[in-house]
Structure 1
Amino acid sequence: MQTPFVATFTIFVLAIFIGYHVVWSVTPALHTPLMAVTNALSSIIIVGAVLQTVDIGGQTITLTSVLGAVAVFLASVNIFGGFAVTSRMLEMFKKKKK
C-alpha cells in the first residue's frame, strides 16, 4: 500500500516548518552541539543513500540510484561544512596564547 502524495508532502512541509523554528530558536551556546547532531544525522542519510545507489533489481542506473548519489553528495557537503563550522566555533572558545 502506497501513502498518498498529499499526506507525504504535508509531512515533509511540516518537518521543514518545525525544523526551521527549532534551529532558529537555539541559543548560540548550544549551536556547536546542535551542529554535531546534524553531522551525525547526515552520516545516517549517507548510509541510506549508499544503499540506494547500489545495483537495484538488476539495473545499473535507476532513478533511485541517481537520487541516492545526489543524496550522498549533498549530505557529504553538509558533513564537511558542519565540521569546518564546528571547528571554527570551538577555536573561538580557546584561550589566546600571549
Structure 2
Amino acid sequence: MTEALFLLFVFTLAAFLGFELISKVPPTLHTPLMSGSNAISGITIVGALVVAGEAQTPFLTGLGVGAILLATLNVVGGFLVTDRMLKMFRRR
C-alpha cells in the first residue's frame, strides 16, 4: 500500500468516525464542543505553519498555505458563531 493511499484511508476513517461521534452529541453540549473544535483548529494552524515553512516542494508549500487559510477561517467562524450563541443567553 502506498503512503498516499494509506493517508487517504486514515483521513476517510477519521472523517466517518468524527461524523458518527458528533452526531451522537446532545444539543446541550454543542457549544462546549464548538469551543473544543476551535482549540483543535488552532493546533491545526500551528501544524500548517510548520508544513508550509519546512516544505521541500512548491506543492507542499501551497498545501500548507491552504491549510493555514482554511483553519484560520474555521477558527474565526467558530468564534463568531460561539459569540452569537452566547448573546442569545445574555440578560436584557
Q: Please, what TM-score do these two structures have when normalized by structure 1?
A: 0.81
Is 1:19 the counterpart of 2:15 in the alignment? no
In structure 2, give the amino acid aligned to 1:23.
I
User: What is the 5 A alignment of 1:30-41?
Assistant: 30-41=29-40
- Distance of 2:87 and 2:52 partners within structure 1: 37
Moved over 6 A (4+): none
- Distance of 1:21 and 1:55 partners within structure 2: 34
Q: Secondary structure at the match of 2:62?
A: helix
In structure 1, give the amino acid aligned to 2:11.
F
User: For this pair of structures, how many residues does the alignment match?
Assistant: 92
CA shift for structure 1 position 50? 0.9
Is 1:42 the counterpart of 2:41 in the alignment? yes
Q: 1:36 to 1:11 in 2, by over 3 A?
A: same
* Alignment match, 2:70: 74
Match of 1:64 among 60, 67, 88: 60
In structure 2, give the amino acid aligned to 1:65.
T
* Structure ranking higher in helix proportion: 2
Structure index of larger Rg:
1
Is 1:87 the counterpart of 2:80 in the alignment? no
Unaligned regions of 5+ residues in structure 2, if any? none
Question: What's the C-alpha RMSD, in Å, of the aligned pairs?
Answer: 2.0
CA shift for structure 1 position 85? 0.7
Identity %: 41
